[in-house]
Amino acid sequence: MFDNWDDLKKSIENCKKCKLCTNRTNIVFGSGNKNADIMFIGEGPGADEDVQGLPFVGKAGKLMNMAFEGLGIKREDVYITNIVKCRPPQNRVPEANEAEACLNYLRNQVILVKPKIIVLLGSTALKNILGSDLSITASRGKWIEKKGIYYMPTWHPAALLRDENKKIEFWNDLKSVKEKII
């Protein structure tokens, strides 16, 4: 584990712990306020993220930004990252060994940020952080406290693009996060 961002970032720059490294353009480390009260964890980078090296900059990210704007959350005030730091082919769900290869990077990010709240965006984030026995459908919208951090599982913004009915639940979950932090 690293006690500073520079060393952590350097440790991942040439990562070859799993096969996702073979097709990446950029590692998508994370972005935002490194002292944020709220941290968002998604699944993994998509095509736009791989090109830009930043999380949530594609269609799902634009939708998330609209929700932030509507709720008065500034993207630069939160920290955003993913379970895996390299894009899975065809945006498939990361395999267990790929997620495992990146988990220490993610744990180190959590230690450095010290968030009060972590928003888990979708099933992959939920299962890798809080346990594979949990379901996003059953856990979504319910606060879970673990080791002094409050977790809010919610839909991944990409799911909202496929099912508009989930937008209201996503909005309400983010509203609950904002209310808890105030």
- Between helix 5-13 and helix 96-113 the angle, nearest 10°, is 160
Put simply, whether the predicted model's pTM sits higher than 0.95 gets the answer: yes
- Residue 181's pLDDT is 86
Domains of the chain: 5-181 (3.40.470.10)
Q: Which helix (H) or strand (E) holds 126?
A: helix 123-130
Instruction: Dump pLDDT digits (tens) for 119-145.
Output: 999 999 999 999 999 999 999 999 999
Edge-to-edge strand ranges of the sheet holding 149-154: 31-32, 79-82, 38-42, 117-121, 149-154, 144-146
Segments of the chain with pLDDT less than 50: none
Mapping DSSP to helix (H, G, I), strand (E, B) and coil, where does residue 146 land?
strand
Q: Specify the residue for token string 């790929």.
A: 98
